[in-house]
Amino acid sequence: MLATLVAAQGSDSLIRQLVAEVSQDSVEGTIRCLQDFGTREAKTDSNKAAVQYVLRRMTDFGCDTAYLQPFDTLYGFGPNVVGMKRGRLFPDIQFVLLGHIDCIADPPDSAPGANDNASGVAALLEACRVLGGEWFNYTIIFITQNAEEYTSGASYYAMWARQRGDSILGVLNLDMVGYALDGQDSVIALGKMVDPDCSVLLNGFCFSTQEYTALKVRRVAASIDTLYGYDHIYFWMFDYPALTVTATVTDPCHHTRGDTIGPYHYEQCGVNDLPMCTEVAKAVVATMAVLAQVEGRPAVAEQQPGVAQGGGTPSVVRGLFMLHGDRTQNTRAELTNVEGRSVLVPHPGPNDVSKLTPGVYFIRERSAVGGERPAVHKVVLTR
């Protein structure tokens, strides 16, 4: 199981510590602040003020850089906000967190958008706050995209990233995670199994959630035809693995002036389950800590013999995986996915991995006669 692998990497205790730092009061404070702008409709001055608020928060929370990304030249939509936590070992390989900042209602000057989508932005910013002071091997991009209710700043970002040739191993989109009914306090994680294959990302999120949080998650595998309206689809269009995490119950005040924070499990409001929203933030922290590899300088602890592409550091592989060293009949190696499932039994020398889905894998080496703890080394497959 992946839990065993994480513990072997020495990061389990740190991940639990980071998850414990997530604060419900902080999540609630962010939702209330965004709600109090009155409206965040994408064309309004209030939207642009909210954008500046998020930009300040990302900067204060320790992003290495945070900036506004204008994308509209015709309708006057507000910009995206992009924050970056730069990876120490592999800065050009990224994981992306999304949460749209705009909202809509009729009339547009009264659109508090507490659940849609201050809840998702609050979970994203809480993850940014907790993770901002840590080191990671891989880069984390925090994006509060704009105009999701119209044309989507996420569409622009995905196209821009593909044109730049960005290597994005996974995108996690948070949209409406603050409303539940008694006994239905859970979220769904929406992903595809082909074109692109999001199973590695989906399994990584579900593992991290189950291992480190109390959040209940239901996996949903769907086609692009059934999921229009969520911003992860734009990343699918450019062949990036992406998920949307959203509550299983839609609030009755969706796209109305009633989308505000209410009492716990009160039905006629937008956000009524702050504990669930907080658990979503914890799940995001755990997922990023696992996949983007928190732990300061993990390469010091991960020096293992016999793996190419950087010696003692995690390997980045494109097409061929090289396994160095002599193997005897008493030594066995296998390549596993994030669930701990074997996907390849490599042999010494080059191994073709071009048909495997890009993502995080682990190479495990152990004695064939047993009795020894396996040596574990991370491998990242990219196109």
Angle at 323 between CA 317 and CA 326, to 5 degrees: 170
Q: Comparing 80-84, 113-117, 131-135, 172-176, which segment has the lowest mean pLDDT?
A: 131-135
DSSP 276-326: HHHHHHHHHHHHHHHHTTBSSSGGGTT--TTB-SSTTS-EEESSEEEE-S-
Top-level class of domain 302-381: mainly beta
The model's pTM: 0.78
Q: CA nearest 202: which of 21, 62, 359, 316? A: 359
Q: Do 2-291 and 302-381 have matching folds? A: no
Contact in structure between 40 and 46 (CB atoms under 8 Å): yes
Candidates 3.40.50.970, 1.10.3720.10, 3.30.565.10, 3.40.630.10; CATH matching 2-291: 3.40.630.10
Ordered by start, the domain boundaries in the chain are 2-291, 302-381
Of 6 and 68, the one with more pLDDT: 68
* pLDDT tens-place string over residues 76-86: 999 999 999 99
* Rounded to 5°, angle at Cα 278 from 277 and 280: 65
Q: Which residue is listed with tokens 């190479």?
A: 363
Q: Which of 52-61, 100-109, 218-227, 366-375 has the lowest mean pLDDT?
A: 366-375
Average model confidence (pLDDT) across the chain? 86
Q: Taking residues 90-118, what's their average pLDDT?
A: 95
Q: DSSP letters along 198-241, please?
A: -HHHHHHHHHHHHHH----EEEEE--GGG-TTSTHHHHHHTT--
Query: Tens digits of per-residue pLDDT, 303-332?
Result: 333 333 333 445 677 667 777 554 445 567
Cβ(325)–Cβ(177) below 8 Å: no
In this predicted structure, what is the pLDDT of residue 314? 53
**Residue 63 pLDDT exceeds 80:** yes
Which pLDDT band holds residue 110 (cuts at 50, 70, 90)?
A: very high
- For the cut 60, the answer to whether the pLDDT of residue 368 exceeds it is no
The predicted model gives 84-89 an average pLDDT of 93
